[in-house]
Amino acid sequence: MVRERYQRELDSLKQNVVTMGEASQKVILDAVEALRVLDIELAKETIKMDTVIDDYEANIERCTTRLLALQQPLASDLRLITSSFKIAIDLERMSDLAVNIAEITEKIEGEHVKPLIDIPKMGEIAENMVKDAIKAFETLDVELAKTTAAEDDKVDELFSMVWLELIEMMIKDPSIITNASHLLFVLRYLERIGDHASNICESVVYMVTAERVELN
């Protein structure tokens, strides 16, 4: 009976991480879409999700604390518990970054300084990284974790390219500095989301193999 309850708690912890990951993925998707079309209502709904994500993290923290205190897990179970806690922190931080993007949507005055093509592309890559990282966690797929982390190179390339483009535009036309500066922050937020997704992939590799790796 005790063992069965313990296994149910482990399964519940894992499912909570998956659910939080799905919620974080949606926050990123909605934040970038709100920015792309300057949808203020969608931005506001996205900002409200911050509390939901924080609740998920708090629940996972309670689960991990209870398991560590009462069950004294070893080996793979211990790695699952500690990795779940670390992944929840990464998910919460990337959700905060997505909320920052939604808040910037409310600050944009008028239209964007340029058609948003590359920034949504960055968002799509980052969002897919989160999706695949959580899938790797759920299925214990080390190879998927490694290939997912490698996608961060694409995010970094787009970051550098668009950053330079916006800087050059501001030099040529100082009147766009305010709105262009907002987009520079968005670039930084998306770049950091990619980094957090890579962190999750590293946690998955450790959870499965007990090896500490640096994937990005």
The pLDDT value given to residue 121: 97
What pLDDT score does 71 carry?
74
Q: What is the 3-state secondary structure (H, E, C) of the chain?
A: CHHHHHHHHHHHHHHHHHHHHHHHHHHHHHHHHHHHHCCHHHHHHHHHHHHHHHHHHHHHHHHHHHHHHHHCCCHHHHHHHHHHHHHHHHHHHHHHHHHHHHHHHCCCCCCCCCCCCHHHHHHHHHHHHHHHHHHHHHHCCHHHHHHHHHCHHHHHHHHHHHHHHHHHHHHHCHHHHHHHHHHHHHHHHHHHHHHHHHHHHHHHHHHHHCCCCCCC
Give the pLDDT of residue 1: 58
What pLDDT score was predicted for residue 136?
98
Q: What confidence score (pLDDT) does residue 19 get?
A: 97
Stretches where the chain sits below pLDDT 50 are none
pTM of the model: 0.94
Which domains does the chain carry? 2-209 (1.20.58.220)
Q: What is the pLDDT of residue 135?
A: 98
